[in-house]
Chains A and B, each alone.
Chain A
């Protein structure tokens, strides 16, 4: 327009040129296939040329008649809505586009009036004043329309496909090594996996058909220099919408002080919620919000990233601070899985965060989340180490009754069987501590036959943990006074470990060699048990005099008595012992039976003359049967059974 301004004609002769130009412009304006921008330029030019004409006509004031007429026309169009209770955009597309056209016209008039030199022309000043008041009225109205539109449509865009955090599998692993409880270890939670289900999922936060309307308002407001008001309103509504979504995710806003004091059970729930919220907020809402900002504001320079940051900031900081508080807290072993969830979630999102906040203004968001990721990595390492320490240092004052599978074994084995799900993360994080541990557990796997899975950092750490567990179990076994029970205890626990490894994802990380070795270990304890318990008993039946065919009656009686007493003693003791695994129990009974029953039968067979009811308390069949009462974990005595047999 500046060029036009300088080209205001001074002579009447130039009027013809202006008139001709005006004519051409008008003619061009009727062309059908014009782009919007070009049409606008033509309209502006048209207005300007007509102003020049009228200016020259008027020679100092009166001739603003046409401008005034046009102003009056748009004034009517704009003012009429002021008294109407209905929103313009609710009334229909025709009304909306009429209104926008009117605002355009006001803007054009203002531009043109400003474009003319102000020669203390009272009329011109007055018209300009009227026009800018009218513009303010329209802008104020457009702002209201915008807010109304955004508020009205934001509710309808609730994405319904997102499952609530309660519907996912998030059984909480609430036990700590310190407070072991027998069965609860089985409830060890499985990984909170939903990364596959939701990932990046852009939704329409505002219905698609509304976007052009919002954009048209943005266009007019920015053109009239009311961009700040537009942003203010836009940010306000969108920010609140985001915060509502955040509230729906049930994130209790918590102070760091509260979080540090929180019970593990509630904290674990909060950690789950965080993981979930991060995925939803960043993966869905912020992605979508960014798209909305780009769609609406993409044409107006860097405003879109500014608005996006303002909308997102509060929510983001909430999530960030929670993460900080967790990374700050003491890293107890039971936190490990939740920390891994948090770490993995953030690690997955970091690229998105970098992309969402790629502009300068968002650099602090990127920086803070990268820092948080590092903090969480350290926390995972700390919790992992704490877990290792807890496994090796868990102490007991009293022997575990019955010699069954110790809760620590259950806890540890169930807990580590979750680790394979986090394999790549753990490998990454444990890499730098790898060499120390690898040398500690340099089993044959690490040799030339080693496969990739048994030599990765996580595998070495896993074996290091189970080897701490083993040495701890050895310590615990020493609490039993009875050597046989020590062997039963170790057999049970080692067998449990092997079973757990064989029957889970752990197998590839431990390798067949480990399994073979540990099978051999528990079998060794099995054999040791038999030796310690039964060798002396069987010895009682041994023929002192291999040459002679049979014993004297008294010697036979003596041996029988000795055997009965020893057997009853074992029976009394070992019925209260426990072998939880039925197969293992069965195997041990059979092999015991083979040894003891066989010896007994041979003994009795060698002395057929003395065999009568008086001497022999227990028949071979009795012994065979009674052996099946062992290791059931319920103490019995033969005193009752003896009486029963006698009667």
Chain B
């Protein structure tokens, strides 16, 4: 399965070098062969994380809380210096990993096109890895009171608020995947209708009906106006009065998961709002990984919304500012520009989503509809041959969707649960930090 290629997984371990302990050391290995394995691997990485967190906690408690018992004043200073240095090193390492991961994402192997199902799997893997490292840097072995002081008393609640917004996006996108699966089901009908030899008018008609439904399911997309309930449709009141194709086209509209007036575009906008890169002294300290993680989260959610049909995407931002001088952000900015370009094209044409498979499916559906429109038994041999080629391409896309979409939904769910958990962890830290010292 393609999405595992080049995916990364993090293992945390205690790195003892020259007497220092690093919070995060990341070993990169390639992913297992299936998303199931990937989640297991991530799970095991968390156990490792937990384990080393405990170890570190014990060691550092011994140092920090009772310095006088173990160390003289000068030595204590040294330890503090060491920890600060270590922290800077950790942050640097984290940002290097972020940079590496996004570089890998921006040069996908050939069978793994940008915004394809398998690419999205890799994107989610990147998110999960970065998130785990981020949490390690920020929470592991940290005195909670530090995070309740400025500027963290503002930065962390803001981060948590964005995380909650991301949760709603996860739900909307997971629901959107369902609508892609619906398209996939319709394409299956097209395939079984046209995969015939000899091809007859009946087959063409059957295919055309499914194709019309497919195209309308794709374009139903996020425009609220097209959300028509079946009962309001006219088929139950004398079917002859209405155009049959029209019925078929409107059939089975998307029902939204999130609140009525909820808009994924607005949600992304509000995530971007107020996001400022840290400056001055903050730029090198802990605020910087918080900013990095914010950007990653926004980027991932934004890419998902762009790729997958999602509730109300009109006005989806095509740009959010990330300073170009930030080393780790180069690839991410590159990806952002590419996707934004695609999105601008989409907005003009009104396609259903940037998901590679969906776009290809739409093109194929268009040409197949032209074919079925003009087809009369026995048909032009050349055109029949061309259609057969299209059908086999459609088959291939169907296969990719069939393999990847349900796991994608699970993967999104995994991201959802991860964000929930990380939010809880941060809330715990904040609570501990703000509790009065007894």
Contacts and interface: CB of A to CB of B under 8 A. Distances in A.
B252 A136 contact: no
Contacts of B236: 148, 151-152
B50 interface: no
Contacts of B202: 129, 132-137
A244 B165 CA distance: 27
Nearest to B164: A257
Where chain B touches its partner, the secondary structure class is: helix
Interface residues of A, number: 50
Where chain A touches its partner, the secondary structure class is: helix
Given A228-B188, A228-B192, A324-B420, A253 B252 contact: no
B203 A136 contact: yes
B274 interface: no
Given A140-B205, A253-B256, A324-B420, A129 B200 contact: yes
Interface stretch (A48-56, A231-239, A483-491, A586-594): A231-239
A255 B235 contact: no
Interface string A213-244: 00000000000011011001101110110011
Nearest to A240: B230
B174 A317 contact: yes
B201 A321 contact: no
Contacts of B70: none
Nearest to A313: B178
A256 B178 contact: no
Contact of B165 (A134, A140, A243, A257): A257
A140 B251 contact: no
B23 interface: no
Nearest to B198: A125
Contact of B167 (A151, A256, A313): A256
A237 B233 CA distance: 12
Interface in A244-267: 244, 252-258, 260
Interface string B225-245: 000011100011011100010
Interface in A115-151: 125, 128-129, 132-137, 139-140, 144, 147-148, 151
Given A128-B200, A135-B202, A255-B258, A232 B165 contact: no
B180 to A, nearest CB: 14
B229 A240 contact: yes
A148 B235 contact: yes
B192 A314 contact: no
Nearest to B172: A255
A31 to B, nearest CB: 35
A232 B257 contact: no
A328 interface: yes
Contacts of A324: 420
A239 B209 CA distance: 21
Interface string A181-222: 000000000000000000000000000000000000000000
B259 A232 contact: no
Given A228-B189, A314-B175, A144 B203 contact: no
A16 B165 CA distance: 80
A255 to B, nearest CB: 5
A620 interface: no
A155 B202 CA distance: 34
Contact of A132 (B178, B200, B210): B200
A57 B44 CA distance: 74
A418 interface: no
A133 B230 contact: no
Contacts of B420: 324, 328
A300 to B, nearest CB: 16
B201 A364 contact: no
B200 A151 contact: no
A481 interface: no
A284 to B, nearest CB: 20
Nearest to A237: B230
A76 interface: no
A254 B192 contact: no
A353 B434 CA distance: 41
Nearest to B165: A257
A393 to B, nearest CB: 12
B346 interface: no
Interface of B: 164-165, 167-168, 171, 174-175, 178, 185-186, 188-189, 192, 198, 200-203, 205-206, 209-210, 213, 229-231, 235-236, 238-240, 244, 251-252, 255-260, 262, 377-378, 409-410, 413, 417, 420, 423-424
Given A129-B378, A229-B189, A257-B165, 8 more contacts: A85-B239, A228-B189, A240-B230, A244-B231, A258-B259, A314-B255, A318-B257, A328-B423
11 contacts: A132-B203, A147-B235, A148-B239, A155-B231, A232-B251, A240-B230, A243-B255, A244-B231, A257-B164, A364-B409, A371-B417
Nearest 10 A/B pairs, CB to CB: A136-B202, A133-B202, A236-B252, A132-B202, A129-B200, A85-B240, A255-B168, A133-B201, A151-B236, A132-B200
